Amino acid sequence: MTLLDALWSRGDEAPLRALVSDDFRYALSAGTRTMDLSAYLETVHGFRAAFSPIELLFHRVLCEGGRVAAHYSLLGEHSGPFYGTEPTGRVGSLEVMSVLHFEADRLVRQTSVTDFLTLRRRLAARDT
């Protein structure tokens, strides 16, 4: 999961760019709205602007065929505005599970489920 660690921890797009297919799509949940690579990177950089530095903590990575399931936490200091919440300076933790699909050694699709609401509530609760 070097590509996830490089991207989220250091903002290094190179490992991801080296792996993605031309028609890569990213989905937050399984809804119909998916993102292309540039929109995905914009989302990542937006989160990194709100939480810095970020550390990825992998709980488990499963591989089967051309698919990888990763369960991890993003830990970072809340240093910028996040969904209307001003910086608190607290360390926030965002839980994520992702499934990455590879075809012919290229990353074609990533679907992630995250719990933004719990993160926002924890940041808000610690402020009061």
68 binds another protein (CB under 8 A): yes
Rounded Cα distance between 109 and 34, Å, is 10
59 binds another protein (CB under 8 A): yes
124 binds another protein (CB under 8 A): no
Q: Least separation, in Å, of the C-beta of 63 and another protein?
A: 6
Question: Count residues contacting another protein (CB under 8 A)?
Answer: 27
Buried b vs exposed e over 14-38: b needs ≥16 C-beta within 10 Å? ebbeebbbeebbbbbeeeeebbebe
Q: Is 50 helix (H, G, I), strand (E, B) or coil?
A: helix
Binding interface with another protein (CB under 8 A): 28-31, 57, 59-60, 62-64, 67-69, 71, 73, 93, 95-97, 99, 111, 113-118
